[in-house]
Amino acid sequence: MTSGALGRIATELSGLPEALRRVGEVILADPAEAARSTIITLAERAGSSPATVTRFCRAFGFTGYAELRVALATETGRAAQAGWGAGVGHEIGPDDPIDAAIEVMAAADTRLIQDTAAQLDPGVVAKVADDIIAARRVLLVGVSTSGNVATMLEGRLRRIGIPCWSAGDAHVALSEAALMTAEDIAIGISHRGRTREVMEALAEAGSHGARTVAVTSFARSPLAELADLVLTTASRETTFRLGGLAAVHSQLFVLDAVYVAVAQRTYERTNQAFELTISAVESHRVERG
């Protein structure tokens, strides 16, 4: 991982062992300073050892601290140049004016999408798109807010002729998964990757030979371990928008990337589908006055 490091660290911080979590907290508190620090200095600031810092780096896919420093320097420099940091990390108080709340939300969501794009693997997106196109049918599984995201992708894929279904009910998801074969693909969506219903459905589909994909903010989650392919999302919480609610924009962005990749690969068919569907619903549009 050479980009999106800060987003991944922020997302997975709470699940780290205490010693590694302290290192992550120091990095997130001042990423630019961490990029300038030696491994000894960072270890002292975190109340740990250089060996712990090295373990932290390897936990996030870096060979060592030197590689992490380069990633931090690149990311903080890019963020400063783009002005992404304004408003990030600010809390929204009950008496704050709405324009201030909107500014904080906009900053957090902008950074969230940038973090997601930075850590998204184009190769995995391409593989998922190819599998969707080749599949006999596509099953999307998610509950609560992730279920709403699954439903949105289902609508987009069905409109361009992809045989796709979404399931938010555990019994329906398991029943659909039980009928899958090696010609199918199942995509499970869960912010923390620990939603039992999603995990069970993905495991059931996989047991019948279907290709399985996890969409989660936690690359080392149980859901990710079940899947053949993993698409990671970022999550940047703000006041009143915690956990899965904060991850919705990121999930939509990742799945939209998959949708675009599918549409690119089926360009002629997709354009024809657009023409047919636009014509079909045209009579339901109100004419301009």
- Mean pLDDT for back-to-back runs of 10 residues, the chain (289 residues): 70 88 92 90 93 92 89 74 50 81 80 83 96 97 94 96 95 97 97 94 97 92 95 72 69 96 96 92 81
Confidence (pLDDT) at 214: 97
**DSSP per-residue codes, the chain:** --S-HHHHHHHHGGGS-HHHHHHHHHHHH-HHHHHHS-HHHHHHHHTS-HHHHHHHHHHTT-SSHHHHHHHHHHHHHHHHHHTTTTTTTPPPPTTS-HHHHHHHHHHHHHHHHHHHHHH--HHHHHHHHHHHHH-S-EEEE--HHHHHHHHHHHHHHHHTT--EEEE-SHHHHHHHHHT--TT-EEEEE-SSS--HHHHHHHHHHHHTT-EEEEEES-TTSHHHHH-SEEEE-----BTTB-HHHHHHHHHHHHHHHHHHHHHHHTHHHHHHHHHHHHHHHGGGSPPP-
State residue 1's pLDDT score: 42
pTM for the model stands at 0.74
**Predicted pLDDT at 248:** 87
Task: Catalogue all structural domains in the chain, each as residue range(s) with its CATH number.
Answer: 1-83 (1.10.10.10), 122-276 (3.40.50.10490)
Look at residue 79 in the predicted model and tell me its pLDDT.
56
